[in-house]
Amino acid sequence: MTTQMAAAKRGEITEAMRIVAQKENQSPEDIRARVAQGTVVIPANINHQSLSPEGVGQGLKTKINVNLGISKDCANINLELEKVQTAINMKAEAIMDLSNYGKTAEFRSRLINMSTAMIGTVPMYDAIGYLDKKLEDITVEEFLAVVEKHAQDGVDFMTIHAGLNRQTVAHFRKNKRVTNIVSRGGSLLFAWMELNNRENPFYEYFDDLLDICAKYDVTLSLGDGCRPGSLADATDPAQIEELIVLGELTLRAWEKNVQVMIEGPGHVPLNEIQANMLLEKKLCHNAPFYVLGPVVTDIAPGYDHITSAIGGAIAAASGADFLCYVTPAEHLRLPSLEDMKEGIIATKIAAHAADIAKGIPGAADWDLKMSKARQALDWSTMFDLAIDREKAERYRRESSPTHEDSCTMCGEMCPMRLMNKIL
């Protein structure tokens, strides 16, 4: 077998590249060239048979990811699978299974079999439960075995915090943070390193990791273990040092024809977002950038789908390629089905707004059609075009106007109605 990157470097256009080209209204050759360069990835594990491939990266529409999964406190597999189907119906391009308790293999298998969206995981989360061992007792070979199990199952991309090496840890220790290490995978690896007085196993045995990824064509999503968990910690030495290491690892992965995405912050003030995007693209050789939010203020628990949509729109407009959704439940609990829906809509709005700013071909056409429908007071077409038709129709239904062609805000004084009559 071969990876998408290996085929692209040989000049071959794969079926996945053709599908991505059709979805993006671009030529297959342009997609192939960018996959070969590493500026576009097509996460497509050879064992994920139900996948409808998507491209992530330079010149493509901004994609969104939905985080799901079972935990010790919320271990209902059927409820999570209902969320999976809803996320697919809402056209999320990716789903990450962050399960860390119980029947993780069963959930992952059912998820991959039913999902047309690309699937991501964080094997580090699964290692403790899967191996049923204390963290400090897990061996390097066992960590890699968990990675290979996820790859065999058909996972398309994996978050691996390989950049949190001893050098990065030294920068973390020298530069005090308010919220320390907030990445779950990063904190687990840091603890393992401290308890065993050893180097990060995914950094030390990076070539073995690459061999697994190449075998199944798993895209490496190089995780940001030192991402800032508060505005006060944004763009600090530990974050930037890790980014430098991730850039070096990217080149090593490309040598073995393994596709790479880079993960980014986090909590970032508005005025630092653009600089963070520029740093990633420069230091990581224009590899696609996958960001969580970023959340632009720390004071809004219950509303972090909004704080992250603000940051996500700016990040994507400034170069980020892939947005991880954030829900109203962020920092508070595992998201409910309704939380997930709100998070998806908020993130899709951010992604679309950014695509308009980036000049993605056809992005603004949707908005133009909506504007023309509004001018014509064509409510049926407005609902057809709405990003959340259900909510738009419900609001309209709950407040019926006297004049059917207007709404209860302006009524008879509706400017659209008035101008249509006068002109």
**Known binder of ligand: residue 227?**
yes
74 is in an annotated binding site: no
Q: How far apart are CA 98 and CA 104, in angstroms?
A: 9
Is 161 part of any known ligand binding site? yes
193 among annotated binding-site residues: no
Question: Does 331 appear as a known binding residue?
Answer: yes
Residue 60's nearest CA partner among 294, 404, 354, 379 is 354
Q: How far apart are the C-alpha atoms of 285 and 252, rounded to whole Å?
A: 12
Ligand-binding site membership of 183 (annotated): yes
Question: What is each CA distance from 121 to 172, 223, 231, in whole angstroms?
Answer: 26, 11, 27
Cα(230)–Cα(335) distance, integer angstroms: 21
Q: Confirm whether residue 166 is marked as ligand binding.
A: no
Q: Determine whether the annotation assigns residue 96 to a binding site.
A: yes
d(CA 148, CA 155): 10
Three-state DSSP class for residue 190: helix
352 annotated ligand binder = no
Contact 35, 8 (CB under 8 A): yes
DSSP H/E element including 237: helix 237-255
Confirm whether residue 48 is marked as ligand binding: no
Is 233 part of any known ligand binding site? no
Residue 290 known to bind ligand: yes
d(CA 341, CA 48): 25
The reply, when asked if residue 407 is annotated as ligand binding, is yes
Known binding residue 67? Answer is: yes
324 labelled binding-site residue: no
42, 53 contact by CB (below 8 A) = yes
Q: Cβ distance 19 to 40 under 8 Å?
A: no
Cis status of the peptide bond prior to 265, with omega within 30 of 0: no
Q: How many CB atoms lie within 10 A of CB 264?
A: 29
185 labelled binding-site residue:
yes
Nearest to 325 by CA among 110, 77, 93, 117: 93
Nearest to 258 by CA among 207, 188, 199: 207
Angstrom CA distances, 299 to 133, 303, 330, 331, stand at 37, 9, 12, 11
241, containing H or E segment? helix 237-255
Binding site listing: 67, 96, 125, 161, 183-185, 224-227, 263, 267, 290, 331, 407, 410, 414
Binding site listing for Zn(2+): 267, 331
Binding site listing for substrate: 67, 96, 125, 161, 183-185, 224-227, 263, 290
Binding site listing for [4Fe-4S] cluster: 407, 410, 414
